[in-house]
């Protein structure tokens, strides 16, 4: 024995561990392949030697991948909590630029400029968000002779200002939204402007991009509230408290045109992306092309987008966003002077690598393509997979550690852009996006079918995620028909999203699966290897009478073992359930009467409770023997907490303001405090009228999900 051990220790040294470590790292970097582009990378074309990515997460990884193909060395920046992040591991060099809060790290221009100097990076790709549309950053880079991968300062400034951009658009003969107007000083002025335009109006920070901080007001009171929030957000997020109020187009589609321009006056439109599926003005599902546009409208929009790009002497990739009403009238919304989150769908249908094109343009090369060369090949759909709870207003952020994580890359024509891996933390500091899941097909139906499969095969454990919502959207008849608008979610789910609604047959399939899993587990627990337990004298069991609790229902289920499969009787119907019954695999392929389903068993415990992800939605079930189920009626009900008199934080975040103190009277619906999470402010309101008994938080506190904030009497 001793000899064996000594030998083993002798043979194993630190060197082996090192080798194992190297293997791991290289595997991680290669895990996503860009099989969906047909882009050409010319190794002889001179380009930058070293490029810094002033971003984190999936977009930093995305840029690094193209840089590797182009032979450019990469520098990652990171905050201290991101020291082990994927983008840091992928880059050739990585430098810490500060602590976790973005204002001290990813927005810390001084520190980033320092890194650029130190690492001698010749160019900077800003990704999206952070400093991507910051003209000051672009100016400072230019002053240091470092190339900014994006348009020049003038275009950023012109398009970054919502008011100036609209004037420019008007002059370039681009359709603009009627009745838009000025800068706002106070709530009264906001109301006056809103009345002039006519309700509904939209209020947002002038300097902010995307839909973040955008508020819709239908009357004077909402205008005042919108003004207060938007001006606060404008001040805290952008240091610029100018606001924009404009006519709100009811029931519109959000369709945007990708443009690509060089420094030689050439500009192309790379077709549209349909981004109408949104919640709280943030995109969730995007696709290219749009089901709604005919080629005539597409060309008209494309030509206007190119006209605008040329009017501001735009170079690099950019996006012109339009609102399109039901009669296919389109109105210019804004131009984003950066790479968009949803750029992969355009890459899928055009075959271009937009990051490569941006780098080429920045290096001074003219575009390689003509407008006639830009195809629409097939159909691409993108789902934004977020760490959030879709059951709470279509998605409130959740945090946690990804205890298990596996991307569905084994499904054909799937691209996953992510910047996290198993073991990563989703923290309160950054955007809660887990990944962008993109599927591609020769037509829309194929792309959607693959998306369904990809979502079922995506393993995300440790954080709450929105797979259930995404899957419901892409199989909803209205979505499948292309009958969508930016109001799709509230219209389809007026009472909030409640997960997949099982048909009778689907419910039988789920019950049969749960019961079969239970029996498989029971059978396995009886199988001891090596020294046997004392043998059971009674005959081997081959049938089980079970009772399965699902929702409010209790269903008798009979299972009998039939070779390697189970014959399961539910609701008087017999189902044949087969599987390998490998209970350690995160993905379980089960065939129920010939229908293959990929299910995930997320948890189980000794008392028969289990949660199973089936058709995208997580169902909580309890499988008991018939005897146990009959006795469970005697078990005492545990008293539930009265939730109307207490206010708990619905998500992790920071307390921005508390507007009550103990002893105050509050009325139902009154704001009690404001929680900021993932750069979003959420107003917490009283669930009933009453007196404040205790306040458990103060401004500046960090709170976790479920933390007690305020108690009423």
Partner 1 sequence: MAALCVLRAALCRAAPWGRRAASGGSVPQRIEEKRRAALLGGGQSRIDAQHRRGKLTARERILLLLDPDSFDEYDMFVEHRCSDFGMDSSKNKDFTVFGGSLSGAHAQKICKVMDQAAMVGAPVIGLNDSGGARIQEGVESLAGYADIFLRNVLCSGLVPQISLIMGPCAGGAVYSPALTDFTFMVKDTSYLFITGPDVVKSVTNEDVTQEQLGGAKTHTAVSGVAHRAFENDIDALLNLREFFNYLPLSNRDPAPVCECHDPSDRLVPELDTIVPMESTKAYDMLDIIRSIVDEREFFEIMPSYARNIVVGFARMNGRTVGIVGNQPKVASGCLDINSSVKGARFVRFCDAFNIPLITFVDVPGFLPGTAQEYGGIIRHGAKLLFAFAEATVPKITVITRKAYGGAYDVMSSKHLRGDANYAWPTAEVAVMGAKGAVQIIFRGKETDAEAEYVDKFANPFPAAMRGFVDDIIQPSTTRMRICHDLDVLASKSQANPWKKHANIPL
Nearer of residues 1 and 143 to partner 1, judged by Cβ: 1
- Our finding on whether 632 is near partner 1 (CB under 8 A) is yes
| Calpha distance 684→660 (Å, rounded) | 11
- Our finding on whether 57 is near partner 1 (CB under 8 A) is no
- Our finding on whether 98 is near partner 1 (CB under 8 A) is no
- Our finding on whether 541 is near partner 1 (CB under 8 A) is yes
Number of neighbours of residue 530 by Cβ within 10 angstroms? 4
Nearer of residues 88 and 141 to partner 1, judged by Cβ: 88
Span near partner 1 by CB under 8 A; candidates 2-10, 120-128, 259-267, 336-344? 2-10
Instruction: Return the SS3 of 5.
Output: helix
Does the active-site annotation cover 334?
yes
Residues 226-285 that bind partner 1 (CB under 8 A): none
Q: 160, 408, 441, 608: which one contacts partner 1 (CB under 8 A)?
A: 608
- Our finding on whether 564 is near partner 1 (CB under 8 A) is no
Q: How far is the CB of 539 from partner 1 (least distance, A)?
A: 9
Q: 33, 44, 327, 531: which one contacts partner 1 (CB under 8 A)?
A: 531
Phi, psi of 649 (to 5 degrees): -70, 125
- Our finding on whether 170 is near partner 1 (CB under 8 A) is no
Query: From residue 177, how far is each of 18, 38, 219, 249 by CA, in Å?
Result: 61, 37, 20, 8
Q: Looking up tokens 């249908």, which residue turns up?
A: 349
Among residues 679, 683, 677, the alpha carbon closest in space to that of 701 is found at 677
Site string for partner 1, 15-54 (x = CB under 8 A): --xx-xx--x---x--------------------------
Beta strands 543-550; 459-461: pairing state: unpaired
Q: 167, 585, 665, 699: which one contacts partner 1 (CB under 8 A)?
A: 585
Among residues 568, 543, 541, the alpha carbon closest in space to that of 557 is found at 568
| Calpha distance 62→72 (Å, rounded) | 14
Q: Do 654 and 679 touch, CB atoms closer than 8 A?
A: no
Q: 443, 582, 667, 689: which one contacts partner 1 (CB under 8 A)?
A: 582
Q: How far is the CB of 5 from partner 1 (least distance, A)?
A: 7
Q: Do 95 and 77 touch, CB atoms closer than 8 A?
A: yes
Q: 29, 300, 376, 628: which one contacts partner 1 (CB under 8 A)?
A: 628
- Our finding on whether 631 is near partner 1 (CB under 8 A) is yes
Phi, psi of 511 (to 5 degrees): -65, -40
Residue 405, beta-bridge partner list: 460
CA atoms within 13 Å, Cβ hemisphere of 174: 31
Q: How far is the CB of 552 from partner 1 (least distance, A)?
A: 19
Number of neighbours of residue 502 by Cβ within 10 angstroms? 18
| Catalytic hit among 58, 334, 347, 357 | 334
- Our finding on whether 537 is near partner 1 (CB under 8 A) is yes
- Our finding on whether 640 is near partner 1 (CB under 8 A) is no
- Our finding on whether 594 is near partner 1 (CB under 8 A) is no
Cα 211 vs. chain centroid, distance in angstroms?
A: 14
Span near partner 1 by CB under 8 A; candidates 337-345, 429-437, 498-506, 599-607? 599-607
Q: 481, 606, 640, 642: which one contacts partner 1 (CB under 8 A)?
A: 606
Beta strands 565-570; 573-579: pairing state: antiparallel
Helix locations, 581-670, DSSP H: 626-631
Residues 395-424 that bind partner 1 (CB under 8 A): 401-403, 421-424
Residue 5, judged by CB atoms within 10 A of its CB (0-12, 13-18, 19+), counts as: exposed
Phi-psi category of residue 213: left, alpha or beta, with phi > 0 → left and psi -120 to 50 → alpha: left
Q: How far is the CB of 451 from partner 1 (least distance, A)?
A: 27
Q: Which residues bind partner 1 (CB under 8 A)?
A: 1, 4-5, 8-9, 12-14, 17-18, 20-21, 24, 28, 80, 83-84, 401-403, 421-424, 524-531, 533-538, 541, 582-585, 605-608, 624-625, 627-628, 631-632, 634-636, 638
Residues marked active site are found at: 334
């Amino acid at each position: 024995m001793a000899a064996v051990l000594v030998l083993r220790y002798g043979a194993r040294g630190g060197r082996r561990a090192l080798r194992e470590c190297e293997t791991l790292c290289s595997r991680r970097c290669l895990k996503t392949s860009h099989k969906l582009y047909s882009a050409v990378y010319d190794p002889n074309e001179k380009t930058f030697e070293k490029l810094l990515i002033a971003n984190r997460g999936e977009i930093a990884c995305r840029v690094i991948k193209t840089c590797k193909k182009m032979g450019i060395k990469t520098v990652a920046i990171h905050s201290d909590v991101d020291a082990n992040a994927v983008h840091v591991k992928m880059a050739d060099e990585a430098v810490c630029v500060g602590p976790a809060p973005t204002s001290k790290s990813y927005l810390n221009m001084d520190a980033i400029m320092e890194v650029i100097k130190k690492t001698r990076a010749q160019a900077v790709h800003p990704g999206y968000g952070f400093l991507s549309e910051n003209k000051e950053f672009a100016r400072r880079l230019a002053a240091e002779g470092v190339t900014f991968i994006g348009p020049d300062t003038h275009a950023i400034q012109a398009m970054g200002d919502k008011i100036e951009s609209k004037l420019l658009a008007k002059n370039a003969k681009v359709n603009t939204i009627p009745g838009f107007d000025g800068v706002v000083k106070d709530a009264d002025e906001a109301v006056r402007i809103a009345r002039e335009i006519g309700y509904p109006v939209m209020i947002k920070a002038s300097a902010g991009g995307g839909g973040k901080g955008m508020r819709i007001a239908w009357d004077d009171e909402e205008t005042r509230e919108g003004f207060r929030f938007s001006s606060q957000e404008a001040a805290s997020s952008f240091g610029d408290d100018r606001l924009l109020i404009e006519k709100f187009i009811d029931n519109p589609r959000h369709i945007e045109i990708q443009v690509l321009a060089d420094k030689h006056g050439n500009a192309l439109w790379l077709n549209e992306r349909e981004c109408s599926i949104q919640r709280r003005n943030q995109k969730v599902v995007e696709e290219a092309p749009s089901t709604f546009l005919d080629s005539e409208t597409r060309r008209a929009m494309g030509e206007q987008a190119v006209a605008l790009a040329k009017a501001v002497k735009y170079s690099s990739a950019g996006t012109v966003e339009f609102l399109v009403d039901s009669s296919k009238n389109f109105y210019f919304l804004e131009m984003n002077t950066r790479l968009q989150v949803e750029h992969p769908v355009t890459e899928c249908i055009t075959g271009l690598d937009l990051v490569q094109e941006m780098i080429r343009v920045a290096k001074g090369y003219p575009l390689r393509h003509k407008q006639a060369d830009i195809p629409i090949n097939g159909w691409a759909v993108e789902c934004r997979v977020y760490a959030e709870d879709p059951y709470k207003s279509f998605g409130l952020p959740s945090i946690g550690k990804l205890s298990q994580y596996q991307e569905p890359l084994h499904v054909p024509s799937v691209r996953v852009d992510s910047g996290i891996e198993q073991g990563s933390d989703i923290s309160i500091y950054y955007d809660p996006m887990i990944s962008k899941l993109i599927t591609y097909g020769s037509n829309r139906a194929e792309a959607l079918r693959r998306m369904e499969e990809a979502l079922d095969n995506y393993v995300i454990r440790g954080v709450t995620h929105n797979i259930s919502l995404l899957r419901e959207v892409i199989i909803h008849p209205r979505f499948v028909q292309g009958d969508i608008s930016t109001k799709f979610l509230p219209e389809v789910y007026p009472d909030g999203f409640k997960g997949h609604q099982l048909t009778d047959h689907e419910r039988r399939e789920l019950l049969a699966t749960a019961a079969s899993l239970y029996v498989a587990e029971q059978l396995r627990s009886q199988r001891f290897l090596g020294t046997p337990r004392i043998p059971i004298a009674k005959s081997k069991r081959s049938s089980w009478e079970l009772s399965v609790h699902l929702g409010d229902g209790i269903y008798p289920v009979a299972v009998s073992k039939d070779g390697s499969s189970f014959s399961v009787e539910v609701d008087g119907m017999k189902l044949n359930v087969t599987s390998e019954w490998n209970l350690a695999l995160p993905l379980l392929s089960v065939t129920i009467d010939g229908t293959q389903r990929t299910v995930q068993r997320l948890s189980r415990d000794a008392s028969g409770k289990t949660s199973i992800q089936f058709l995208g939605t997580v169902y909580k079930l309890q499988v008991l023997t018939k005897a146990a189920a009959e006795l469970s009626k005697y078990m005492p009900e545990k008293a539930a907490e009265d939730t109307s008199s207490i206010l708990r934080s619905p998500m992790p975040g920071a307390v921005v303001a508390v507007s009550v103190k103990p002893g105050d009277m509050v009325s139902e619906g009154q704001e009690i405090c404001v929680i900021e999470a993932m750069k979003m402010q959420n107003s917490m309101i009283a669930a009933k009228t009453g007196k404040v008994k205790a306040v458990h938080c103060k401004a500046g506190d960090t709170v976790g999900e479920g933390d007690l904030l305020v108690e009423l009497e």
